[in-house]
């Protein structure tokens, strides 16, 4: 990959990893729905100039139905699910569970698109889920059922991401990334608005929470979407997939640096097993994929 592609990959991993940190800070004050409404509306405001510059309205009119589906099921709902998960799990833990997204993508492709699963992919599916179980081992002892609720909530987001990726692959192939991203934010903003108004925080919100949602909307959503689709176009899905392995590393790093979140043996073991399972389930060995990203 070129230097710019490597830089895009690192920046994308860092800003997506930071989104879990921002959710940990802001969700308790805003609530999940209000926070995600702010996130997608800020991202929409950021993306609109790119959308207008590319004259995306005509394309959006043609493909608005599948784009709306993607906005609801790969943006609005999973964003809220991940925010709820951060109420009971650390940023690093939620990011590791979310790293199972490619596993669900492979499973949905098998069930829906009749793509065959090789033996190694089946092993990867089992390993991925085993990694989540290991990850939660010490967390259950600390927070009881709350950790399990958080894990299943995050897994729900991963499932929707996997479904949405296959849906977009089938129905939005050839549609520009800017149009899909902007249209998704529009539908997510509209869907979440009523709930956000009903659950808007009654008391004052701290400056730290406001700063978190602002950075999350611009960097972890708007810029991240543009970086991901540019990377996807430049290097293809196989190499772009390496972001899956790097996001949890940054999430754990940011959580430790800024929130003093502990890095436990269970987290390291569960994360390693989950990422190994993900690499097998996607047919992309971890060491080879990271090496390919540097080529």
Chain segment 139-154, per-residue pLDDT in tens: 555 555 677 788 889 9
Q: What is the mean pLDDT of the chain?
A: 85
Q: Domain count of the chain?
A: 1
Residue 92: phi and psi, rounded to 5, are -65, -40
Q: What is the pLDDT of residues 150-209, one digit of tens each?
A: 888 999 998 998 888 888 878 888 888 899 999 999 999 999 999 999 999 999 999 999
In degrees and rounded to multiples of 5, residue 283 shows phi and psi of: 70, 20
> What's the 3-state SS for 47-87?
HHHHHHHCCCHHHHHHHHHHHHHHHHHHHHHHHHHHHHHCC
Cα-based distances in Å from 74 to 80, 138, 260: 10, 30, 30
pTM of the model: 0.85
193: nearest Cα among 281, 29, 71: 71
Q: Which of 55-64, 82-91, 148-157, 277-286 has the lowest mean pLDDT?
A: 277-286
Q: Residue 99 has which token pair?
A: 């790293």
3-class SS string, 210-263 = HHHHHHHHHHHHHHHHHHHHHHHHHHHHHHHCCHHHHHHHHHHHHHHHHHCCCC
Q: What is the mean pLDDT of residues 97-118?
A: 82
pLDDT per residue over 26-81, tens digit each? 999 999 999 999 999 999 999 999 999 988 999 999 999 999 999 999 899 999 99
Q: Which domain holds residue 255?
A: 3-294
d(CA 79, CA 70): 12
Residue 198 CA to residue 219 CA, distance in Å, equals 27
């Amino acid at each position: 990959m070129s230097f710019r592609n490597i830089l895009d990959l690192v920046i994308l991993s860092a800003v997506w990893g930071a989104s879990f940190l921002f959710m940990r800070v802001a969700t308790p004050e805003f609530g999940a729905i209000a926070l995600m409404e702010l996130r997608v509306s800020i991202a929409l405001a950021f993306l609109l100039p790119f959308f207008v510059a590319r004259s995306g309205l005509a394309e959006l009119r043609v493909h608005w139905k599948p784009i709306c589906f993607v906005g609801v099921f790969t943006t609005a709902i999973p964003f809220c699910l991940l925010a709820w998960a951060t109420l009971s799990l650390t940023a690093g833990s939620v990011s590791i569970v979310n790293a199972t997204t490619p596993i669900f993508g492979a499973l949905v492709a098998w069930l829906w698109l009749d793509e065959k699963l090789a033996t190694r992919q089946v092993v990867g599916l089992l390993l991925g889920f085993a990694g989540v179980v290991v990850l939660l081992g010490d967390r259950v002892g600390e927070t009881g059922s709350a950790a399990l609720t958080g894990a299943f909530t995050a897994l729900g987001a991963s499932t929707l991401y996997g479904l949405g990726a296959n849906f977009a692959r089938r129905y939005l192939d050839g549609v520009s990334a800017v149009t899909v991203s902007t249209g998704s934010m529009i539908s997510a903003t509209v869907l979440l608005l009523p709930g956000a108004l009903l659950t808007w925080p009654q008391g004052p919100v701290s400056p730290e929470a406001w700063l978190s949602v602002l950075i999350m909307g611009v960097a972890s959503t708007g810029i991240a979407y543009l970086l991901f689709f540019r990377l996807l176009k430049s290097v293809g899905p196989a190499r772009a997939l390496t972001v899956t392995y790097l996001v949890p590393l940054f999430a754990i790093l940011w959580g430790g640096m800024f929130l003093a979140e502990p890095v436990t043996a269970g987290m390291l073991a569960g994360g390693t097993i989950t990422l190994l399972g993900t690499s097998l389930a996607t047919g992309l060995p971890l060491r080879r994929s990271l090496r390919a990203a540097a080529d």
